[in-house]
Amino acid sequence: MIAADPALAPSLVDSFGRRVSYLRVSVTDRCDFRCRYCMAEAMSFLPRRELLTLEELALIVDRFVDRGVTKVRLTGGEPLVRRGLPELARRIGRRIGYGLDELTLTTNGARLAEAAGSLVDAGIRRINVSLDTLDRDRFAYIARRDAFHEVLAGIAAAKAAGLAIKINMVALNGLNDDAFVPMAEWCGAQGFDLSIIETMPLGRIDEDRTDRFLPLTFVRDRLARRFALAPSDHSTGGPSRYVFVEELGIHIGFISPLTHNFCATCNRVRLTAEGKLYLCLGQSDCVDLKAALRENGPAALDAALDEAMRIKPKAHDFRIDRPAVSRHMSVTGG
């Protein structure tokens, strides 16, 4: 059901004057990988009974769109492990053209081959796929799963289905610090844009993040030795700062939460699978939308969203030598 005219509802603007137009929805905290920079090998996940139902997720997203959110990204954990994800995407996709400009998804790609067609049917036209290396052995080490060929098959299926693809690559010292040029060249040959991301200190993992941290100043310098990086005002609604590589015909984005803070222009909030709305990736401020919805009905969502805008922090406080918050990246989906 298409909601009422969103122009009748006030936009979501925080106490620092930043307008929230981008909602990231973690549909599950579960993942079929255990990437070393993101998770521990032994993880505890939410009991399924504590998750929002698909109907509740769709209802909450509807209200965000009514309040001025124009972009929604489905994330996890790994979103494609959530049963019913294609149906949820279809329900949200009905708002495209009715307040919503874009519905996207971030995935590790391992289950993408079987899901690509249904994502297109739901109205998704662009996805991000996490891929930190093109070397199978390194991939298996980083992800702790030997699923490299499944990921490549998923990417190929998504491309064949007509989805535009951007590769997300986390910069990891000693693991892929020699792989940025080959990855860029591969993306150019495939017609994919590329985003390179600094590892973020979220949750406790089995390794020392300090050893793996690689500032994107190093990455950009490495790429600039091989390619001409032209400044670009290209934007996909998130924190990436893009350059255009004419030799490859692609954009390369840099997401640098530690070396280049982008909080002043933050337009994002993050809904977890259990209904908590986090207002900053690196802070613990949140409101409980599940409680508001189940205790007082849909009308209570507006008051909760207004409170969320009141308490949204000014900035994160990332330091690579300690976790900024106890929750893992898989809880909020980045």
Which pLDDT does position 236 carry in this prediction? 83
Task: Identify the CATH number of the domain in which residue 294 sits.
Answer: 3.20.20.70
What pLDDT sits at residue 316?
60
If one counts every other C-beta atom within 10 angstroms of the C-beta of residue 185, the result is: 17
Ligand-binding annotation for 263, yes or no, is yes
Q: Is residue 11 a known part of a binding site?
A: no
Instruction: Answer yes or no: is 35 a known binding residue.
Output: yes
pLDDT value of residue 224:
97
- Asked if the structure places residue 296 within a domain, the reply is yes
Tell me what percent of the residues of the chain surpass a pLDDT of 90.
Answer: 73
The token pair that represents 50 in the structure block: 């504590």
Exposed e or buried b per residue across 227-263, where buried means at least 16 C-beta atoms within 10 angstroms of its C-beta? bebeeeeeebebbbbbbbbeebebbbbbbbbbeeeeb
Q: Is residue 137 part of a domain?
A: yes
| For residues 164-174, average pLDDT | 96
Reported as a single tens digit per residue, the pLDDT across 15-44 is 999 999 999 999 999 999 999 888 788 888
On whether residue 51 sits in a domain, the answer given is yes
* Mean pLDDT within 195-214: 73
Query: Average pLDDT of 121-141?
Result: 98
Q: In this structure, is residue 1 part of a structural domain?
A: no
Residue 169 in any domain: the answer is yes
Tell whether residue 99 is among the known ligand binding residues.
no
pLDDT confidence of residue 328: 58
Under the banding of pLDDT at 50, 70 and 90, the label for residue 285 is confident
Task: Quote the pLDDT of residue 323.
Answer: 46
Of 71, 141, 147, 60, nearest to 102 (Cα)? 71
Residue 155: inside a domain: yes
Q: Is 73 annotated as a binding residue?
A: yes
Give me the half-sphere count of Cα atoms (radius 13 Å) on the Cβ side of residue 79: 29
Residue that has been written with the tokens 């209200």 in this structure: 63
Summarised one tens digit per residue, pLDDT across range 247-268 is: 999 999 998 765 556 677 788 9
Does 38 show up as a binding residue in the annotation? Answer: yes
124-133 average pLDDT score = 98
Q: Does residue 67 lie in a domain region?
A: yes
Is the pLDDT confidence value at 334 over 80? Answer: no
Mean pLDDT computed over 72-81: 96
Q: Please give the model's pTM, rounded to 2 decimal places.
A: 0.90
> Are the beta carbons of 31 and 77 closer than 8 angstroms?
yes
Residue 326 clears pLDDT 80, i.e. is over it: no
Is 310 annotated among the ligand-binding residues?
A: no
Establish whether 286 is an annotated binding residue.
Answer: no
Residue at 258 is within a domain = yes
Query: Which residues on neighbouring strands pair with residue 254, listed in sequence order?
Result: 196, 241
The residue that leads in pLDDT, 201 or 134, is 134
Domain region containing 228? 6-332
Mean residue pLDDT of the chain comes to 89
pLDDT of 203 reads 52
Q: Total structural domains in the chain?
A: 1
Q: Is 130 annotated as a binding residue?
A: yes
